[in-house]
Structure 1
Amino acid sequence: MKTSPSIHSHSFINAQRQNRRRRYSMSSPQIFESRADTTLHHSDALSKKVSRGKFSKIYSISSNSNLLFPSNETNSEKYDILSKLNTGAYGSSYLIRDSNDGQIYLLKRIDDSLPDRFRQRLLEERRLLGCLKSTYILALISAYTDTQHHCFSMKFEYIHGITLLQLLRRFRWFEESVVAFYSAQIVLAFEYFHELNLIYRNLKLETILLTDHGYIKLSDFAFARLLPSNTSSTRSIVGVPDLMPPEMLLGQPYSFSVDWWQLGIVMFEMLTSYSPFYASSMIQTHENVLCNRRAKFPLRLSSSVKSTCRLLLQPNVKKRLGCSII
């Protein structure tokens, strides 16, 4: 691995890094805020799996926005807004109490004036979330068109937890055993996605939610892509500059490899509190990725955890950990 003076060990909490991630992320606004402390427990929960054939059949039923987001004129959704959590370029998110069952949920409102390219991503996300069933995914409860507020609405389960980024801000960096605990759950989620030929492409500390028992829930599927088969690939460039693997930056065909690369980024950040390829400019960050110029590991880390990170951040897809196929 090459070293470069452009690599700085700035904390990933650095405001410049956070602002850039928000600016270059084309996904929906980040909507999940802290509501409880998190404790760590061992998880024995298993993801529920469906066959590829069944998943593809269900997923391909419709891409019609009227079916994916039916009008609330025929919908019984009634709720009280408890608080506003966040506001983004095309919508806002709220903590609500459902008037029918009295339960608390997260409500995401997206303006119906959404540009076409974002609207298509929203429909794709809605279709996926309606089909995916896993303990490691934030569950979509309902989706509809709110004619009163001129928006698309998506109601999610509320897990009384925080994001991994918020937890890391409290501790600066995690012990290796804690990193292994969270990473193992992410691997199980990826195994479920990849079994269905689905690429997530949006793993970052901000999209990893934690329940009040310490289990993960992945959110924000705006960049997810369903492939026709496990040997198919794509060339689309999406996401945040800091998270893009070399094959994506070079416009090469890729599939599941991007998810394993992003796991390497997240593990590195959990262990060190800074991003491995981060530089003050996006261009320099890309150069660091393409030239494999990575920040150094702290001396306190074990050889085994450093080896795992190196294998996940391997530029050669064929040698990258988890990538038996591209």
Structure 2
Amino acid sequence: MTELKEVPAPSDQSEHGRPVSSHSGEPSKDWNPRNFETLFTLGQGNYGKVYLVEALQTKQLYAMKVRSKAVVQDCQELDSAGAEKEVLLLAKRDKHPFVVEVYGGFQTQSHIMLYMEFCPGGSLMYYLQRQGKFDTQTTRFYAGEVCLALKWFHEQNVLYRNLCLDDILLATDGHIKLVDFVVSKVNLDHEAGTKTFCGSAEFMAPEVLLDRYYNSSVDWWQLGIITYQMLVGKSPFTGENLDRIYDAY
């Protein structure tokens, strides 16, 4: 088993570690990392790592997302950490079927941990790479569920801004679960819009690349990109480097 050495696991709720809050309906549950066994790494990105962990008492599996406070502060990502938590809590409040559920959290002096549902089906990108492309019926099914999720985001004044096949996971029932909201925009003023330059190059809407104000239209642009990917098996905008990708637009 992989040991999560870089995450301190305090044995109590002293100044060295405390629950962020419990969102699971189990107020007595202790989300201290010492109560979980780390099985292996599920994924890693610029904003942290995600591990598969097992509760020692119940044997329940969770996806534990770990972010370094030092990295968050150095990269001035405090807003992103708060945005992700807010989106997850909104989805839990509304019991949204297509957004990953958060159960609880814990923080130490150096790290923040979120415990979320484990989606054993993997990502849509994994299946696309195995199959080459999806048929029309399959594409319509997944795109339709993403549409419903985006509609809900926008009704909550949230911009997802991170729609890609890697962040669309499959739950045990075969339905999608959207994850990773660190670049999401909360409390969006739809009329004024926002102007933050963020996202992956091949998914950026033209107004983002042109440094213009934008609103929910960027999420629908990304939906078009992933729909194309599912049907064709590749991105419509590719290149050897960022300049080539931008030129492809």
Q: TM-score scaled to structure 2, two decimals? A: 0.81
**Which secondary structure does the structure 2 equivalent of 1:155 belong to?**
strand
- Does the alignment pair 1:98 with 2:55? yes
CA distance in 2: counterparts of 1:71 and 1:131, whole angstroms: 29
User: How many angstroms does 1:228 deviate by?
Assistant: 4.2
CA pair 79-256 structure 1, distance change in 2 beyond 3 A: same
User: Superposition pairs for residues 206-221 of structure 1, below 5 Å?
Assistant: 206-221=166-181
Q: Which amino acid aligns with 1:96?
A: V
Name the residue aligned to 1:236: 196
> CA RMSD of the aligned region, Å?
2.0
State the match for 1:260 in structure 2.
220
1:144 aligns to what SS in structure 2? strand
CA distance in structure 2 between the aligned counterparts of 1:100 and 1:232, rounded to whole angstroms: 50
Residue from 80, 100, 116 that aligns with 1:121 = 80
One-letter amino acid matched to 2:69: D
Deviation per CA, 1:210-240, whole angstroms, max 9, x where unpaired?
1233211000001110244432301111011
Q: C-alpha distance in 2, partners of 1:228/1:207?
A: 22
Change in CA separation of 1:256 and 1:71 when aligned onto 2, cut-off 3 Å: farther
- Whole-Å separation in 1 of the counterparts to 2:206 and 2:188: 23
Extract unaligned runs of 5+ from structure 2: 1-13, 20-29
* 8 Å CA contact retained: 1:71, 1:144: no
Partner Cα separation in structure 2 for residue 247 and residue 182 of structure 1: 26
Distance 2:205 2:188 in 1: 22
- Ranked by relative contact order (alpha carbons within 8 Å, sequence separation 6 or more), the top structure is 1
Are the structure 2 counterparts of residues 110 and 245 from structure 1 closer, same or farther at C-alpha, using a change threshold of 3 Å? same
- Could you tell me how far 1:80 is from its partner in structure 2? 1.3
**2:160–2:183: 8 Å Cα contact kept in structure 1?**
yes
1:112 equivalent in structure 2: 69
Q: Deviations over 1:175-208 (max 9, x none)?
A: 0111000000000001101111111010001000
Alignment of 1:81-96 (within 5 A): 81-88=38-45, 91-96=48-53
Q: Which has the higher strand share?
A: 2
Point out the structure with max Rg over C-alpha: 1
1:139 to 91, 101, 111: 101
Distance 1:205 1:97, change over 3 A: same
Instruction: Give the aligned length.
Output: 218
1:58-90: per-residue Cα shift (whole Å, max 9, x none)? xxxxxxxxxxxx967444222111223334456
Are the equivalent residues in 1 in contact too, given 2:18–2:106 (CA < 8 A)?
Answer: no
SS, match of residue 77 in structure 2: helix
Q: What SS does structure 1 have at the residue aligned with 2:113? A: strand
Change (3 A) 1:122 1:251: same
Change (3 A) 1:88 1:202: closer
Deviations 1:91-127 (A, max 9, x none): 4321111134331101111122112422331222122
What SS class does the counterpart of residue 240 from structure 2 fall into? coil
Aligned AA (2:106)? Y
**Normalized against structure 1, the TM-score is what?**
0.63
Q: CA deviation at 1:141?
A: 1.1
Aligned residue for 1:82, secondary structure, equals strand
The residue type paired with residue 142 of structure 1 is: G
